[in-house]
Each structure stands twice: as structure tokens, then as C-alpha cells.
Structure 1
Amino acid sequence: MRCQPNSQPQVYNWLKNKQTCLLCDESTDGGNAICTSCEAELPWLGEHCQVCALPLPSHGLTCGACLRKPPSFTRVEAPWRYAFPVDSLITRFKHQAKWPMGRLLGELLSQHLQHAFDDGLSRPDWLLPVPLAEQRQRQRGFNQAALLTQWIAEPLQLPWQAHGLQRRIDTPAQQQLDAATRKRNLRRAFALSPAVPIDGLHLALVDDVLTTGATAESLARLLKKAGAARVDVYCLARTPKPGD
């Protein structure tokens, strides 16, 4: 399988019987490209806010921010905290085009979601990747959220719409900004594709990391105003509060 968009592509055969762990290079004992020991040591999210998935010390709590002002999305599902080695894998996938890293995380996210569905989480009608501005996507060569959406849609047998959401304004990179600046950045940044019917549907946004939730809130609010019945967020990792 060709996994890199360059002249000398790094190749990882996802269908071979004996996988090699992408973290420690040992042989794996399952269908994913990660061994049992490395998978167990990933920074699993643990106890978290029932709405935004912010890491919390106890089970079944809702964080203060969601209590004070409930977000437009209903629930965030994320397997991990944004910590080593997941943060490194996401960075290498997103900024260095190491597609096997993203594919591994996408496979594990799909398994996490399947467990959540089995436990009663409502299945969405559509998956929608968080969009990139055209210039940024041309520079990067791909939209990591769209790839993740494809990789979780196939095993979960969920429909997805690659261009259901559009980014009209190329806002500055969000990573180093505080919550208030992120919100100002995102005003009028997004638009809906007129070809995508969403009235009365349950939708799920897909992205790599949820930090302040400003992007998810902006998109969920847009979708709810257009008639969506419910909006969830599926992502790889959730950042903790600064200092936690």
C-alpha cells in the first residue's frame, strides 16, 4: 500500500499477516501496526467531562465550562490525552506526511468508537471532516481530518461527506493561541456546502485534536443553525487544561 505522497514513498503493507509495531519495531500480535505493550502504554484519556472530554479526576462529571455555557455539540469522543507518544504520532502524520502513523491512530479510533456505539452511543447519520483552507491544504498536500474520516468510516460502515463543510477564510494557525483569540479567528470562517442535506440529521465532526473546542463549537453552531438535530465530535486526542 502506498502511504506517502512523495517521490520516494514510505510504504507500509496494512494487509500483511505479520505486522511490525510502528513504535518499537517488534512483531505485533494483532491486526494493527502496534504491539500490545505499546498500545497499553498510550496516554488513554481516562476520566473526563461527559460533554467536552476534558480530563477530570473523577467519573461522571461535567466540567465547569460546559456547565456555565453548554456547547453546541453534544459529546466529544476521544481515546487519548494529547501527550507522548500520541502527540508525536499526530505531529508526524499532520506536518511530516507520515501517513502510516495517522492510519494506525485512525484504526484505533474506529475501534474506540465501535466500543462506544456498543455501549449505547448514538450512531451518526453522517461524518464530516473539519475543513482546511484551500491554500493550507495545497501546502500540506492533504487534509488530515478527511483522511481520518475515511479511515474510521470504512470499518464503522458510516457515510461521510468530504466537502460538506468549507473553510472560507484562512485563519492563522490555532495551536499557540488562547481561547478568546481562537474564537475571534473563527468568526465567519466556515460555510456549509449547499449540496449536503443536514436538516434533522445527527452529524459527527472529525478532527485530530480538540484543544479549546473553538473550532468544534463554531462548526457545531453552524450545523445546528442549519437544522442538524445533534452534532458530536470525534477526535484522536484531547488536551488537558494548562498545568494539569
Structure 2
Amino acid sequence: MLNDFISLFFPNYCLACNRGLAKGEKLLCLKCEYNLPKTDSHLHHDNFIASKFYGRAKLLHAVARYKFNKSGKVQRLLHRLKYGDKPELGTLMGSEYGKELREANFSEHYDVIVPVPLHKKKLRRRGYNQSAMFGTGLSESLELPQYENALVRNIYTSTQTKKSRLDRLKNVKTIFGYNKEVSLSGLSVLLVDDVITTGATLEACIEALTEAGATSIGVAAIASAK
């Protein structure tokens, strides 16, 4: 309620700390951008995100820009991206992270970007796919095309937030498929999501991408929990 009140009367405020933005600042103030907990996972191949997939999926990279902590500023940003009608926030974070990934030569390893899909019912209600908005920013900086409709979500599922890893795996095992009208055969795919917790959703998407003929896969997210 307080955040809605602030946004009504002070539209140019930092989405992480609610402070008024200075001239030249966009969506995030410089202080928050500097202090948000970054993972630097793109600089270390064997990182805590990659360890989530050991023995489950073979990946070129597994990276996220921020560390996710409950009740922290990163969680606030993700909440505003998903539920606060702020698609431009996802694009901005993707664009900035894409610049870092480009410096680490990620563009040389991938052909296309594919976002984790939303079910069409949820997409209609929200108006946009937050992962695709993040992918749009990555696409601009990495100069790679995004195939937004390459994966499909066949079954509407309840929120994953409070489920255990086993429950998450059971929940997503059969809900993702691939769009046969979009060719991924022989391509290297960078799969993108907003936040990585257990990795169960991404594992299911990786399986669908493999069935679609992708030769190699990496994952990138805005944030990841440890």
C-alpha cells in the first residue's frame, strides 16, 4: 500500500529503495545499482548457480546478475517487475547485464535467447512475460535474436514459491513443451528466467529445448538464491 502511494505522487522514484531519482537516473538510483548484491557468476564457470544443475543438466553457463535474499531489495525489484506493471525494469536489467556478458564473450557461445514462458492465461492477466522482458534487454546488448515463443507452457500451475525441490520437480515435469513452428535444431540457446531457486523450472525447460534439437544450452537469470 505504501509503495503504491509513493508511486502515485512520486513517479520518478527508485524501484529498489523508493528514493527520488536524480537527473540521469532511470528506475534505479546509482546507490542501489552499485550496492545491489551481484554474483559475478559470469566470471566463474564453477559457481553456486552451476552447482544447482550438477548431475541434472549439462550447461555451457549458469549465471545470474544478483543474489536473491528474502525481503531484500532484489526481491522488491523482482516483485515490482512481475506484479507492479514495470516491464521496462526487466529490459533495463537485461540490457545492463548483457553488457557484462558481452565483455565475457557470451555472444560467441550462443545463437538465440529463449525465455521461460508463461501460461497464456497468466500472460493475458499480467500483460507481459517478465522473463521475456529481461531477454529483450539481453538481446539488445548481446546482439542475439530472442525467440519468445520457442517454448510453450501447456499447463497452468500454482506458484512455486513455497514448494520443496521435489514438489517443484513434480510440478513442472510435464508442463513445458516446444513450439514446432520455431526451429531450434542445431542452435545454441541461452535460456533466461527472472529468478533461480531450486532450478526445477529451468531443468524442465532444458529438457524441452533438448527435445527441440538445441545442441547446447546455457541459463541466465536476473537473480539466484543460494
Q: Same fold (TM over 0.5)?
A: yes
Number of residue-to-residue matches in the alignment:
213
Q: Give the distance between the partners of 1:100 and 1:128, measured in 2 at CA.
A: 18
What is aligned with 1:218? 204
SS of structure 1 residue aligned to 2:146: coil
> Is the contact between residue 21 and residue 27 of structure 2 (CA under 8 Å) also seen in structure 1?
no
Tell whether 2:142 aligns with 1:183: no
Q: Give the distance between the partners of 2:189 and 2:41, measured in 1 at CA.
A: 25
> Is the contact between residue 73 and residue 217 of structure 1 (CA under 8 Å) also seen in structure 2?
no
> Is the contact between residue 91 and residue 136 of structure 2 (CA under 8 Å) also seen in structure 1?
no
Q: Give me the CA root mean square deviation.
A: 2.7
Tell whether 2:23 aligns with 1:43: no
What is aligned with 1:199? 185
CA displacement at 1:151 relative to structure 2: 2.1
> Is the contact between residue 126 and residue 204 of structure 1 (CA under 8 Å) also seen in structure 2?
yes
> Is the contact between residue 89 and residue 102 of structure 1 (CA under 8 Å) also seen in structure 2?
no
Structure 2 residue runs of 5 or longer lacking an equivalent are: 1-7
- TM-score, structure 1 normalization: 0.76
- TM-score, structure 2 normalization: 0.82
Q: Give the distance between the partners of 1:21 and 1:88, measured in 2 at CA.
A: 11
SS of structure 1 residue aligned to 2:114: strand
> Is the contact between residue 87 and residue 130 of structure 2 (CA under 8 Å) also seen in structure 1?
no
The one-character-per-residue Cα deviations of 1:201-238 (angstroms, maximum 9, x if unpaired) are 10011110011111111111221233211111111001
Moved over 4 A (4+): 20-23, 46-49
> Is the contact between residue 75 and residue 233 of structure 1 (CA under 8 Å) also seen in structure 2?
yes
Q: Give the distance between the partners of 1:47 and 1:129, measured in 2 at CA.
A: 19
Q: Give the distance between the partners of 1:122 and 1:237, measured in 2 at CA.
A: 23
Tell whether 2:93 aligns with 1:93: no
SS of structure 1 residue aligned to 2:190: strand
| 1:28-177 correspondence to structure 2 within 5 Å | 33-46=27-40, 50=45, 53-54=47-48, 63=51, 66-67=53-54, 69-83=55-69, 84-117=72-105, 122-177=108-163
Q: Give the distance between the partners of 2:11 and 2:144, measured in 1 at CA.
A: 27
CA displacement at 1:93 relative to structure 2: 1.1
Q: Give the distance between the partners of 2:129 and 2:53, measured in 1 at CA.
A: 29
What is aligned with 1:236? 222
Give percent identity, aligned residues only. 29
CA spacing shift, 1:154–1:121, aligned 2, 3 Å: closer
CA spacing shift, 1:113–1:75, aligned 2, 3 Å: same
CA spacing shift, 1:29–1:143, aligned 2, 3 Å: closer
SS of structure 2 residue aligned to 1:78: strand
CA displacement at 1:86 relative to structure 2: 1.5
* Counterpart amino acid of residue 234 in structure 1: A
CA displacement at 1:21 relative to structure 2: 5.4
